[in-house]
Structure formats: C-alpha cells, structure tokens
Structure 1
C-alpha cells in the first residue's frame, strides 16, 4: 500500500479502541476547505431512520457531528444495555434524494469478522472436534511452491497462536499478503488474477516466518485466513455455511453474509463505499484504475478475517454470545475468548484474546474490535457496565484528514452522558 492508503484494520492503535480516553486525540481544528466543498456540504441533508429509546439523544448528536465533519454519507449505530436493544439507527449525510441508510442496510464490517471466526473455532473446540493446541501443519496441507521448502518453524504454529496473533507473521517486518500483494503472488506462481486463497497460502508456504511462533504479538490477517480453512476442514462444510449454521443462525441473525469486491456484485440493501483514492485493480490484469473500495483489494479472499457484511444490530446481537453461557458458547468457550495470552500483553495493559481485544478496567472488563478497509470503518465495543455498541461507516478517509478512530472516545462520552436509560427492547423490530 502507498503511504496515503496505509490505514490498518487493527494494529498498534488497537490499545486505544474500546477505552477512548487511553490516548485518543480529539482534533479540534478543521482543515482548509474550498468554496466548492463548503457549497457541496451546505447542499447535503441529514437523514435519520430507525428507533431509539428516550434519553439517548447524545448518540444521535455524536454520530451527526462525526459524520458531517468527515463527509461520511452512510453510518449505522446500535446500542444494547444489559441485553436489550435500546437504539437502532441509520444515518445519511448526502445530496442524494434516494440514498437512505436503514438500520437493516448492510455494511462491510472488515475486521469485525475476526470475532465471528474466533467464535466458530471456539465452537468446534467446544464440540470436541478441534484441539486448540493442535498444530496447523497437522490440520492443513501446507504445500510450498515448486523448489521451495516449508519453514520448519511452521510446526510450532498452533490454533491458539493463530487466534492470538502469535503465529509468527508480521506485516510490519514483511508485508500483509491479504492486501495489495495480489500481483506479486500472481507473478510468482504463474497464475492469473484474481488470485485465490489457495494461491495466497501456497505463496506464503514458500516464505519464512518473521518471528518464531509464540514469541511476539503481531496482528495477522493471514493467520485468520488459515483459521477459516481450519473451520472448513474440521467443520466439514464451507466457512460461511458453518458460521451461519452454528454461530449466527442460533442467534436469529439472518442477514449476515460474505461480501463481494466489485460494485456490480453488491448485495441487496448494501450501502455504497467511498474513498478519496483510486488504485490499480487486483481483480484482473488490465491495470485499470478503480475506486479503492471496488477492486483495490480482493474481498472474497478476506472471508475469515474481513469479508462479512452485517448490520450494527446484528453485530451487537452477535456480541451477546459473550455475555453469558448460552446454547452456542458455554462458559469455557467464553473464558477462552478473553484469556490472557502467554505473551503479548501491551505496555498499557490490553491484550488480544481470541478474536477480541481485552482490557481489565475498574468495575470489570472492556472488550472490543475495530475494522478498516478502503471504504469501511467499524467498531464493536462490549463495556464492563453491560453496554454494547456497534458503529459502521461506509468510508475511512477523506480530504479533512480527521481521524476516524475518534468515534471510539466519542461514543464512550455519548454513553456517559445518558442520565436515565430506557427499558425498551427494540430487538423484535429488527429480525
């Protein structure tokens, strides 16, 4: 990725997510705007759909100020308190008379896909079908390109280590094979674009790990691609099918599905995505320049680490799996999701468990995940006091240069501003 595009769905800044005040910076200044940009902004209208309980206006005003400051056209927010859905909103800031975000509109959720994949792995372990200490080399056929050999350290990569980003791949040392490495993989293997997940795995099987497994925390999209393949192998069915049947379906989640790269293949009800950047497509060999969200990366290959489409309502409904033992995940599985790894606790106290970032705070524990792709910024937070929220946006960059991570602290402040929480439960309206 070029420097202008180098925004990651999770990384060193992950310690700020879910806590807000632990280092987030509020940007009070505004970048210069042209007369034309100001005129365009003035012509836009603000639309709100969905429902919320009484006394929750701070959430609406937070989303409005955040989106308008960055010219984000589509946003979504869902808030749960102690198991009850108290807010389900769609927000639109646009000149279009037809674009209108609903609480049921689908968004790419990027790395919020990782908790979903982790839940499926935990479920397989709970069913007795998978040992979390099993070696990846014993579960998957890892074949390197002709004339190359596997790094012998791969035998020390376990399912646990994949879940906790301790597998040994480090994009800060080498690269992320899941993003804009497609042309290099195609050339190295002599295969056409678009490359497949199997192509990516074969290419990576011919490379050395960046670290000895289990010795360094390094966020790895590729590690979660492998987890998706393990789910297919052990679960005996496709990745999407297993997740929908064993994780989402029992929660009454019917809308979630895997997304597609190209705009022509968008799902019914899916929002459009925007970026200020145009890049060369990785979906074919034409070298054509395309909007970054539509062909600048291969979303189909990202299934297990960043490929899901969802609504904010369905993300908070999914997050409820981790509140207490249930028919999908028992107490042992939930404990494993938040377990402290053998290595990788960060200097300010957070760690990556199994698909969740975790921090102990006064009064309990905060868990969260963020997501980011060109055209997508997302966050899912489970707070120590029984609050859960998910915010989804159809953009992650704009000419203002403002941080999109600021939504984290802003939503904590919105929650803290509520003096009396409603007792309403809106879940029945959004199945």
Structure 2
C-alpha cells in the first residue's frame, strides 16, 4: 500500500487502508513496552503494536492514538512511560483522555472560528488586517493587501526563514521595544508591524505562526469575546467538546490531567526577566502567546471528534464554509499537487480529499489526518524531533502500511471517554 507519510502526502496520492488479515501482537502493556490504557479492538491491534514499538525504540514517555471510521471512535489509547524489565514501577500514566499541547493542530481550530464569523455575517474574508486591527501600513504599504483569507492560507507576505518567527524571539522583541518580559501579543505586533514584509502578499506560501496569531486577535476583536471563549462557545461546545483549553507555560500552571513534556534543550526564561535557564518546554517559550497558532491542549480523542466538523455540514460550519476552508489558494497547487487551504494541508485523490496537519514545539509532536474511506486518526507525543533521531515520518509510514485484521469495528467508543 502507498504510504501516507507527511512527506508522501505532499508528493503523491494514496490508497485506503485495506481490510486484510494481519498477525498482530498483543494489545496489552508489558514491562518491555509502554504502559497502555484504553481500548483497542482485536482487528486494530496492529496499529497499537506499531505505536508501542515506535515509542519503546525511541524512549518516548507519553503518547496517544485515537482513530475514527465514518465518525465513530473505534480506538482510543494512552501510552505511558514503560517500566524497565528489572523494575516494577510506573513513571507516567497516560489515559486516552490525558491532555497534550497540540501545537499547530491549533491552526485549523482558528480557521474554523474565522469561518464561523464569516458564516454569521460578522467578518469578510477580503477584509484587510490593517483595517480590522487598526494596524499602520507605514513600514510597508503592502500591508493593506494582507487579508483574512491570505492569513489563513499563509500568503501574508512573511517568511520566517528571512526575518525570523516573532513568536519565538521574546528576548529580541523585549530588548527592541525596551519592555520587560513577559511580552504579549501587542508587543509582538508592534515589533513586527514596524518592519517591512518579506514578499508581496498573495504570491508565495510561507508558513506563518505570526499570521495565525493575528487571526486570533481578529476573532477576539470581531466577536467581542476572548479568543479562547469564542472558540469554546462557537466551535467546540456545539460538538460536545469540553476538555480542550489553552495551555500555560509553567509546570506549576498546567492542568492536572496534562502530561509532562521532554526536551534535550534549555532556554533563558521568557516568562520573567530573571535570566534563569529553564527546561525549554517550561518557560523557554510563552505558551499563552501561541494561542491561535499553537496554544491549545487536547487529547487525541478530542482531536478526532473535533475533526468530524469538517466531514459534512453541521452545527458549526455549513457547506459553503467547508468548501472555502478546503479550496485551493490563489497561487494554486504546489508542483507536487498539494495545497494549503485554511488550517489544513490538502490533496485531491480519486473520489476524495485527503487533509492533514502536524504540529511541533519543544516537548510536543502531534498529527491529525482525515483520509480516504472515512478514516481519521491522531497521535500525540511529549517529544519533538530535535536531533534527527525520532523520524516521525517513519511512524506515519508504518501506520498507513498496517492493514486491518478483518473488518473495521462498528462500535462507537465516544460515549465511553466523555468530553
């Protein structure tokens, strides 16, 4: 079967997972692998084994996998730190409803909120960000060409490889503006808006966390509510999701049901001016500033439930909104046939549209994919690629090469795991 790795999704189409036999390993946890919790039907045990093996080989301490078929939750697993064979203790327990930072999976949430405002007649996709947020175009007159839609499609005119990502240079911004840490959204905007764009808006796609941060400010301005409150009320509540929320920077501020995050790197604290060197996931970056571009926490179960919003018109988005989100941008497809819609990468395959997104920040790697034949899955981990040793594309490849042992389950597990 053709692999559906992020690499290959960007390069080629892929077939659906076939329902053929597989001799799968045990679905229960052992002392030689992650301590698994949750539910895995026998026919899907091969997927469970793939994730457990991947985590064991790379010593990843916390993970989750959730899968739906035609909107029904058919698998929900949490994977905690494995106990070495000679020991009998648990270092971390992860359930299917434990919370993880989901990083850039947050972008499709922000796009959905924007489209809901458009759908309700409160916002126009063609509105310039300068008008909506009262931003000056003095530093670059092309700012007037940066529209809401271009922000959602990463066509705003910023290139972080050229001018750096302003969501990740807190010390630089604080020094330039002569303000104390922690900086906030207004400081980030003041710093970036005083500098010219890197290219003409609408001409080239360069991934922009800053553009999505601006979308969060537009949502708050137009709705009259905080970004988080509006998303919870307009996007999550209609589909019964209550666990998801914005994350915090420090370990002491985290939710009791949130996992711990692991990174080899440290950074000077950005949450205060102490200059203290801290673990990168805990104060090495400002989590609240990441809100609209990467700040949500959720479980994999939450993510596959949320993804059902995009399967068909419903209580959140109508058919026109869904079509706009998935439409090709004004620059068209890439040379390899994929495009970035609004918060989703997309590729047309025979009879279906594959959509997906990944996310990463220090201590976090996430993935969510909606593929052919109604199959959606999400995995979340508490480590990211740092030195080329984890190779998450390998996991994508293995997941999509794993066949179902018989038939897909038909029992819906969503009621079992709450929201």
Q: 1:317 to 1:323 in 2, by over 3 A?
A: same
Cα deviation, residue 307, structure 1: 0.2
Normalising to structure 2: TM-score of the pair? 0.90
The match for 1:39 is none
Q: 1:118 to 1:188 in 2, by over 3 A?
A: same
Cα deviation, residue 370, structure 1: 0.3
- Answer yes or no: is the 8 Å Cα contact 1:257–1:310 preserved in 2: yes
Cα deviation, residue 399, structure 1: 6.7
Aligned: 1:388 with 2:379? no
Deviation string, structure 1 residues 312-362 (Cα, Å, up to 9, x no partner): 011011100010110111000110110000115221111000110000123
Q: 1:410 to 1:371 in 2, by over 3 A?
A: same
Q: Which residues of 2 match residues 93-242 of structure 1 at below 5 A?
A: 93-95=81-83, 97=90, 99-142=92-135, 149-179=138-168, 181-242=169-230
Cα deviation, residue 240, structure 1: 0.3
- Answer yes or no: is the 8 Å Cα contact 2:43–2:404 preserved in 1: no
The match for 2:23 is none
Counterpart-to-counterpart distance in 1, 2:252 and 2:393: 30
Q: Which residues of 2 match residues 282-431 of structure 1 at below 5 A?
A: 282-343=270-331, 345-397=333-385, 401-414=389-402, 416-431=403-418
Which secondary structure state, in structure 1, belongs to the residue aligned with residue 372 of structure 2?
Answer: coil
Which secondary structure state, in structure 1, belongs to the residue aligned with residue 412 of structure 2?
Answer: coil
The match for 1:16 is 7
Deviation string, structure 1 residues 183-239 (Cα, Å, up to 9, x no partner): 110011111011101100010110100011001100000000000000001111000
- Answer yes or no: is the 8 Å Cα contact 2:102–2:380 preserved in 1: yes
- Answer yes or no: is the 8 Å Cα contact 1:20–1:409 preserved in 2: no
Counterpart-to-counterpart distance in 1, 2:371 and 2:141: 41
Q: 1:108 to 1:334 in 2, by over 3 A?
A: same
- Answer yes or no: is the 8 Å Cα contact 1:275–1:397 preserved in 2: no
Cα deviation, residue 21, structure 1: 7.4
Cα deviation, residue 295, structure 1: 1.4
Counterpart-to-counterpart distance in 2, 1:298 and 1:251: 29
- Answer yes or no: is the 8 Å Cα contact 1:17–1:368 preserved in 2: no
Which secondary structure state, in structure 2, belongs to the residue aligned with residue 351 of structure 1?
Answer: strand
Which secondary structure state, in structure 2, belongs to the residue aligned with residue 279 of structure 1?
Answer: strand
Deviation string, structure 1 residues 40-66 (Cα, Å, up to 9, x no partner): xx9865211011233001111110111
Out of 259, 268, 283, the residue aligned to residue 280 of structure 1 is 268
Moved more, 276-285 or 366-375: 276-285
Cα deviation, residue 20, structure 1: 9.0
Which secondary structure state, in structure 2, belongs to the residue aligned with residue 55 of structure 1?
Answer: helix
The match for 2:78 is 90
Cα deviation, residue 417, structure 1: 4.1
The match for 2:19 is none
RMSD: 2.1
Which secondary structure state, in structure 1, belongs to the residue aligned with residue 207 of structure 2?
Answer: coil
Counterpart-to-counterpart distance in 2, 1:19 and 1:183: 35
Counterpart-to-counterpart distance in 2, 1:233 and 1:184: 27
Q: Gapped runs of 5+ residues in structure 2?
A: 15-29, 84-88
Counterpart-to-counterpart distance in 2, 1:397 and 1:357: 20
Q: 1:383 to 1:98 in 2, by over 3 A?
A: same
